[in-house]
Structure 1
Amino acid sequence: MNKLVKKYMRCFMKLYIDGQPLLGHKTGIGHYTNNLINELILTNISIEVVTNQIVNQKRLKSINFKDRQLKNIKLTNKLYPYKVIRRLMKHNVLYNFPIDLFEEKLNRSNSVFHATNFIMLPTRHAKQVVTIHDLAFMKFPDVVERNIYEYMMRWVPYSIEVADHIIADSFNTKKDILELFDIPKEKITVVHLAADAKFEKQTYEQITLVREKYNLPANYLLYLGTLEPKKNLVTLIDVYALLKQRYNVKEKLVIVGAKGWKFNPIFYKVKELNLEQDIIFMGYIADEDLASIYSGASVFTFPSLYEGFGIPLLEAMQCEVPVVASNTSCIPEIVGEAALLVNPYDIELWAEKIYQVISSPILQMDLISKGKQQASKFSWEKVALDTLKVYKKVVI
């Protein structure tokens, strides 16, 4: 963060950030929150990261900032009875129970509460910013768990209504918000996300060590993400079966990611096609090994039906892996011309494109070169600077 920004922001505001996504194993929103905070720490904003963990205090230890010794950052566990308040609000007993009820009075002119995970926690005085990562639950309700759908349908519209400003991860998400909600376009700012700088091409020795650690094959196709319906993994498995049958590919398929919901059809499909020896499910993998897993892959596949952003796309490109991805939602916006894009339902075309990459070193090098250039357009420093502009907008 440059000196001019630091000087400009020195007395600018008091910032509260919802730190709930930082608890436990971090998924995409957790990484977003963590990386945003790490960059904001480099400014002189006074930052308070707010959690509401009531029962299991040990989970607070999972939160790790770049430099927690700096004076401008504070971690506070509010003991805010989040679930209880939501139930009371659901029954109209309480509609707006503020998280800062027992604090000293904030100056609304220079205080901001940033809800990083769709849902706004009410405040008495601070201006309110909410990040809406995607609207998959509205665009594809059949691929969202019922209780999650009902929860999101109740609180995301509320958050969009009460927020002073909305951050969207992509122009596609902004478009979806404007299509589904009657709000002015000026209320939404697009802030593209990024991949961590540690995701870069690893050495042969590093790749070999991780491959041996997890007993991975020398050649494999890779998918990384949660195992859930919107990720379209049943189709990917059909594609892989066709690759073996029609093109006689030798690569295994490696699937990295925790089980989400409705994951059983994925394993049923593997068994149905007798691919138990060819498809490797790794589960959740710690960040320190992911760059090597990416770097060892022949192709990164991303057949998702809908994404708000798709950080794994950038991680793969930074690790110099050619990418074949769906041509849906924000994915073309993120990868530009640096990936082969395919209709997520077209099994034959998916197999054809993956085989083209596997069999053509020239195409591999072209995609790798374009991928590195495309990924360089995104950084967490830029995310922080663009987010600071939103904070400035709401407090003026």
Structure 2
Amino acid sequence: MTLLFDLNSLRPPRSGIGYYTQHLLEGLREQPDVEDVAGWVGSTAYSGTSLTDLMTDQTSLQAAAQFSDGLKATLLRKSRGLPGLYRMRTVVRHHASRALRRDFGRRGYIYHGTNFIASRYNGPMVVTVHDLPHRRHPELHAKVAVDYLDHGLPRTLRHAQTIIADSIYTRNEILEIYGVPEEKVVPIHYSGRRARSGSVFH
């Protein structure tokens, strides 16, 4: 089994989803039936030693991240609050990784999107949905973030073969709000037992 991840969530400053991605990568790489775990930042693919370096060395990760410092980085961060530009940033990232995603798809890698909205992928895909507060309480979230999720999440849920929910509650919300087939949504609770991470891919 060969697995592919979008590694952009590992960028500093690390969020909860970034730590989830890191721990998932660490656990899956220990599984005997996982032949390779790969991923990308920008237009660069990482696997084996290069992935290890990226996961453990923040300097390597900052170097891999486009516009991580300086004026361009400042403008990019501020653009998240402007209508349309938050989505444009995502489009730029998706465009940068298009060729390598196509290559990994041809090679049969299973793509796992850990940050709600997955990049388009011509191959088997798993996605994690952590919660859905933007639907229950949109007034508590930035409008650009709500619009971004409302626009992209339904497509991701349609295309994914398996949807991981962090809890039974989130699983039920996914079924109620988006009407996806019940058999697609698998609740996997956070656990210190990393070995459980790989079960969804079988």
What TM-score do you get using the length of structure 1 for normalisation?
0.38
Answer yes or no: is the 8 Å Cα contact 2:116–2:128 preserved in 1.
yes
User: Cα gap change, 1:150/1:105 in structure 2, threshold over 3 Å: closer, same or farther?
Assistant: closer
Gaps of at least 5 residues in structure 1 are 1-12, 55-59, 67-76, 194-377
Of 149, 153, 156, which residue of structure 1 is paired with 2:153? Answer: 156
Q: How far apart, CA to CA, are the structure 1 residues paired with 2:88 and 2:127?
A: 19
Larger Rg: 1
Counterpart mapping for 1:189-338 below 5 A? 189-193=186-190
Structure 2 Cα separation of the partners of residues 62 and 104 of structure 1: 21
Q: 2: CA distance between counterparts of 1:178 and 1:103? A: 32
- Find the partner of 2:138 among 137, 141, 156: 141
The reply to whether residue 49 of structure 1 matches residue 54 of structure 2 is: no
Q: Is the 8 A contact 1:130 1:167 kept in 2?
A: yes
Cα separation, 2, equivalents of 1:172 and 1:151: 23
Kept in 2, the 8 Å contact 1:127–1:164? The answer is yes
Indicate the percent of aligned positions where both proteins have the same amino acid. 25
- Number of residue-to-residue matches in the alignment: 166
Query: Which secondary structure does the structure 2 equivalent of 1:123 belong to?
Result: coil
Q: Secondary structure at the match of 1:119?
A: coil
CA drift of 1:106 comes to: 2.0
Shift of 1:140: 0.7
- CA distance, structure 2, for counterparts of residue 104 and residue 172 of structure 1: 33
**What is residue 122 of structure 1 aligned with on the other side?**
120
TM-score (norm 2): 0.71
Cα distance change on mapping 1:65 and 1:39 into 2, 3 Å: farther
Q: Is the 8 A contact 2:11 2:65 kept in 1?
A: no
> Which range moves more in the overlay, 97-106 or 130-139?
97-106
CA contact (8 A) 1:114 1:129 kept: yes
Structure 1 match to 2:55: 64
Give the deviation of 1:158 after TM superposition.
Answer: 1.1
Change (3 A) 1:49 1:127: same
Secondary structure of 1:103's match? helix
Task: Report if aligned partners of 1:22, 1:62 keep a CA contact under 8 Å in 2.
Answer: no
Match of 2:201 in 1: 391
Secondary structure in structure 1 of the residue aligned to 2:149: helix
Distance 1:187 1:61, change over 3 A: closer
In 2, Cα distance between the equivalents of 1:175 and 1:22? 28
Residues 23 and 63 in structure 1, CA contact (< 8 A), matched pair in contact too: no
**Equivalent pair of 2:43/2:100 in contact (CA under 8 Å):** no
Q: Which has the higher contact order (CA 8 A, sep 6+)?
A: 2
Check whether the contact 2:116–2:129 (CA below 8 A) recurs between aligned residues: yes
- State the shift of 1:83 in Å: 3.8
Deviations 1:276-298 (Å, cap 9, x if unpaired)? xxxxxxxxxxxxxxxxxxxxxxx
Could you list the per-position Cα deviations for residues 179-207 of structure 1 after superposition, in whole angstroms to 9, with x for gaps in the alignment? 101111110111111xxxxxxxxxxxxxx
Gaps of at least 5 residues in structure 2 are 45-50, 58-63, 67-86
The residue that corresponds to 1:18 in the other structure is 6
Task: Summarize the Cα distance change of 1:63–1:380 in structure 2 as closer, same or farther, 3 Å threshold.
Answer: farther
What SS class does the counterpart of residue 129 from structure 1 fall into? Answer: strand
Post-superposition shift, 1:100?
Answer: 3.4
RMSD of aligned residue pairs (Cα, Å): 3.2
Question: Kindly tell me: are residues 391 and 65 of structure 1, through their superposed partners in 2, closer, same or farther at Cα, counting changes over 3 Å?
Answer: farther
| Closer, same or farther: CA 380–119 of 1 in aligned 2, 3 Å | farther
Residue in structure 1 matching 2:192, options 355, 375, 379: 379
Corresponding residue for residue 86 of structure 1: 91
Deviation at residue 155 of structure 1 after TM alignment: 0.6
Residue of 17, 31, 35 corresponding to 2:23? 35
Q: Distance in 2 between matches of 1:63 and 1:49?
A: 10
From the superposition, tell whether residues 21 and 139 of structure 1 become closer, same or farther in structure 2 (CA, over 3 Å).
Answer: same
1:178 Cα deviation after fit:
0.7
Please state which structure has a larger fraction of its residues in helix: 2
Give the direction of change, closer, same or farther, for the CA distance of 1:160–1:78 in structure 2 (3 Å limit). Answer: farther
CA contact 1:99–1:121 (8 Å) conserved in 2: no
Q: 2:169 aligns with which of 161, 172, 176?
A: 172
Q: Counterparts of 1:37 and 1:137 in 2: how far apart (Å)?
A: 27
